Structure 1
Amino acid sequence: MFSAPSLAQYEVLQGEYSTPIVILSIAVAWAAAYTALSMNERSRKSSFFHQKLWLTFAAISMGIGIWSMHFVGMSALSLPVDMHYDRSLTFLSIIPAMIASFLAFYFSSRSRRTKTSYLVAGLVMGIGISTMHYVGMAAMKMDGVIYSYHFGLFALSVVIAIVVSCVALYVFSILQHQSERFFVRVAIGCMLGIAVSSMHFTGMTAVTFYVPIDQPLMEGMAHSMDELFLAKSVAVSMVVLFGLFLVSSVLDRYVAHQLRYFDSLTKLPNRRLFEKNVENLTYDALAVWHLHDLESLNRAHGYTFVDEVIKETSRLLKSTKPALVDLYRLDGHRFAYVSRGVKGSHVLEEAMEKTAELLKQPLLVKEQQVKLQTVCALSTIGVGEQATDLHTRVMAVLDHPTIQFQHEIIHYNPVVHTQSFAQSLLDDVERAMAENEMYIVYQPKVSTSLKKMIGVEALLRWEHPEHGFLSPAVFIPILEKNNKMMDVTDWIIDQVCQQLQAWQTNKEHDWLVAINIPGNYVTSPRLLHNVVDRMEFYGIDPKYLELEITETSFVKTIDGAIEAVNQFREKGFGVALDDFGTGVSSLSYLKKIPISTLKIDKSFVDGVPQSEKGSAIIQSIISLGESLKLKVVIEGVETKEQVDYLTTTCNSPVIQGYYYSKPLKAHDVVEWYSSSSSTSACHSPSFVD
């Protein structure tokens, strides 16, 4: 292997390299390394798929890249002799590269990592690259040609593969918290690509080809080789590589969707998807089953047993679900059936009667019989009513003081139930504010031009001791209808001013905070007096507060709203026109309203950029806002495709939505800001659930 033949019988065979093909081989190595790192990074995330699945994908990708780079690099070398490949050895040579890649990624991705683990990972990867190369060289057959290696260069090629692999995997490991960043993966992918290609071409420098002196050579440097076999093999490997990348992207989207919209225990759609669908789809009836007193089962048997009870209950509920009915798990003890289509309410009612009969029977869980206490609240939609009213109605049924958990199906009766739930919330408002059952969360607003968070929107939440977490879509309409929202808004303003003072006192950040103002409160002198009083009391500059006023409030009282906004602006407050596009009759007044910010409603963002009509409307609204020299804020952004589209459509959009972050509590906002600043917020979304 390392000894040269007699020069009396052999002469050195000279070859030439094709520069474009050399560059292509290096690009293949980088692409494979980038793909492998992307999949390895996914293996660290919480997923429905086992970590080893992603590690296997990463190993296959890296192995294919090493193998393809080698044979593309070999095709760049021109020798004046016939050349072909031993097909068995050719395919066999990919195995050590895949095995080594799997082990290297496994060692470097463990939660407990030491310098030894980095060394072992790099050593395994380097040996795998080298083994693949030299097995691939052994697969190369040339008539009459023999070759030998220069030991020093041979050893150097192996050392290069090991050292560069160690460095690349070490850098990747210590930067794992930034591995979602495109440029980090590109840089580390380049390092691994360099490890592969450097080893290959150093190894090729180490080899010397010899041909018998009397053997005739081909004219020129173009050799004859099994090009069709090689081309097909490399092409298939590239198809597999990019196929894996595509599959991993699809799986990634699937996992993100499952984690966000589906309950992990029962695999049923969760409350978030329920609220989204009720707003966007046409439903005509809702039935909610309440499982009573699960806490007693927890105390008696433990949480694991109760989880099994819930799973068994979900299986029972699924078995009675009609075709045109959707089943959701709303929270720990409530399941919802929602019907759609003609005669859906009649079908749903029949199914609920069947379900009630089944729930009367004990469930068999871990060889124990469990008798559940349940009740079902059912409401149907009437003419001119909205699907969002259904949830409020069933909640009114379930929270009525006369409720009994004896597997009954109780229909919503406005005479009996309307005032009960609403009144219970109204009675609890003062206590909720005093005892912090109500609290404020803040959703970041990210400037894509500055690549950082520039402000937040303050949003109200309510964790009720009896009803659990109440959706704002449920309790805010009740508070507004009963003139309680003004008092709550004053409380929100006080809480936000306190938080602004705390952030500024701690010298953490000076952020602009937006507060939603109810439509009927906009023109009240009380609002201006209260907000000025609170800002002065806490020593906050008005420039740090922005009042978000819905478009419909302008439409209803345009003259009074314009006067009120003028007063806010004179005091130094920012004013945003919220949910723009939902009250089109205000369009002619837009130039008269002295607002500072235009917020585009989420309903226009959904479907962009796939929807041509939606995209056209977004472009028109953005152009309108920019022409009026208004700051444009786009809310409800959830996908990277939407961000990319909006960034190219708008000069410097401010984006708010789940793509970057859900609403966070005050201390979490500071942590999110610090984390997103170090990882470039505009390229690294944070889906925090």
Structure 2
Amino acid sequence: MNDLLAQFFDLNQFSQAPLAGEYNNWLVALSYIVAFVASFAALTIFARALGQRNGLRRKGWQLATAFVAGIGVWSMHFIGMLAFELPVVMKHGVALTLLSILPAIAGNYAAYSLQLQIKRLAERKRLSALHEKSLIVASGSLLGAGIGLMHYIGMAAMQLPAELRYDIGWFTTSIVVAVVLGIIAMATYRNYQVPTRQGGHSNRLQLSTALIIAAAISGMHYVAMIAARFYPTSAAELITGSGHDQHQWLIYAIALSVILIALFAWLSSALDKRLQNTSRAIRQSDRKIRELAFNDSLTGLPNRRSLLEYLDSQPAQNQQGECLALFLLDIDKFKVLNNTLGPTLGDLLLQSVTHRLERIPMDVHMVARPSSNEFAAVARIPCDGNPASAQSKALELARLMQDNLQQPYSLKDYRHRCSLSMGLTLLNDSAVSAENLLVQAALALSEAKRSGLGQIQLYHREMAEAIEKRVRIEADLRYVIENNEQLELYLQPQLNAQRKVIGAEALIRWQHPDFGFISPAEFIPLAEETGLIIGLGDWINEQACQIIKQWQQLGFNHLVLSINVSAPQFQQLDFVDKLNSLIRQHDLPKGSLKLELTESVLMQNVDDVINKINELKQLGIQFALDDFGTGYSSLSYLMKLPFDVLKIDVSFVRDMFESPQKEAIVQTIVQLAHNLGLKVVAEGVETEKHFDYLSSLGCDYFQGYLFSKPVAESEFRSHSLILQ
């Protein structure tokens, strides 16, 4: 046993003194710098391994860490050996020199593998404090063992005319230094790994770890060199000067190579980190884009696209005999809140409605926000093969939902109460697409809003048919206005108290080739909604001027033609200019054209209305206030506006004998008009009793079925009344 130990340790078996060596201090410093640079680069690379989710990529960075760290240990040892100068010629065996790299790489790989294991166990919350400490000690010990084994294999590669033995005390100290500093380095690096402790000190801790690892490598090496004893053999020839002068260029080449390797590794790590961050940013952007594509940014609810996808994924009926119900809700007068109190409170209201919808204690499967102030809710309703029962249960659910949502809202310091209109539809046919289902709910909602505020409407097939007809009528109305087809002005005579025709009111009629006669009550509101009323009004004005011109040519110079003018038409900036152009074009005499305005026209800018009326009166146009008493009547209008005629609405005249109140209103209007110097026209005169009573009140003109219904202009000219 002693013989075996004597092959490695110095047991005083040599009689001569060992050779005395010297160190090149510059190379010693260089060896530590190389160890530090390599260690810091290895830690930087290992940070990439820690952040990898992909196992193959993690292994790759782990191997790169061990390789750079091992090369650093080996290079430090090699430079440190060359820094040690003995008075004999010294060489290194190639095989053992290269083989010594492997323990350094293996020791670093094992140490950093345990660090990865510590991190994974901590993330899974399966790491106790004792287990963590034992793994840190193990990783530091493996690192120190790899450094020590590398050193002593490298020392065995030395070829010189001397026997190498080690002092047992210093040998033990070198191993202890390597292991203890390795453990301290790994413990420090564990600090670096913990995010809660990391904060703004991660770079400082990484730097500290690299300094400690470099100290472990260098400390172990130079303590081991103190333990080394070189006893010259009989063949030893002492030399003067440095025995390593011929290796100076190799020393610096190795140092430069290590630094370049470390720099390359650091740049690769930094580039990978940048790519990872870019990839992460792209994924986050994709996730954000998807959220924006499928969710409403204000409320976080699914948007229209998400709602349609959800509806497409739901079966119309399930095994429990339930059918899908879609509720579409609209906040009534939401724009009023936005315009008066600002969009901030409007947004708060939308968010508050969202919170209530999501917390409604009912079987609602999904809540969405398909448009600005509309919300959708999807639920399942028991069907049991009874559509009427399913509809009743859906309406009951709608009322419960509406009652919950119409409770007052606290918007900052403002208490707001609102109503919600609702349309709903049931899906019990899988052939109906999600888009059509949403259209059905929207049609029901539109019908509910037309019925008033806070109404609930269930979809039925007639709604779709009505919409289809409405779309067709709108398109056809646009066509007939542009092409002057199918439309015609009918005339209803107006008579004085002597039953002599003094004029007529022009009423538009539309004979559709497919739908037959379409009432003005149906297409006039549609024209106003779509803006077609402007073109339609221009057509009426043109036709009216042509009729008056024909009357002049036939000698009916005393007749006055009245035409109705809508509010949008009268508000056009060029209304006066266009009418002036028509009057000049047809050379109409003054007083032959009368414009009938409703009180809706007067609700706009009164001063502008007065200016337009005065301009038109200078052209010889008369004015009548139509349907007086049915709107927002105000005596101030009659005082300010220069009307010529006041028309009593048919709703007062027709039923005035059945209602004392209406009879009193008719009497008051006639007296009021005469006191203001206005003529009075009574519409809806259908009986002789009507005529006699209105005549006794002093009514000036009469219009109604007692005399004639509206007729075509050719029939009007041949009427017996006008020929008298």
**Normalising by structure 2, what TM-score?**
0.38
Whose radius of gyration is greater, 1 or 2?
Answer: 2
**Normalising by structure 1, what TM-score?**
0.40
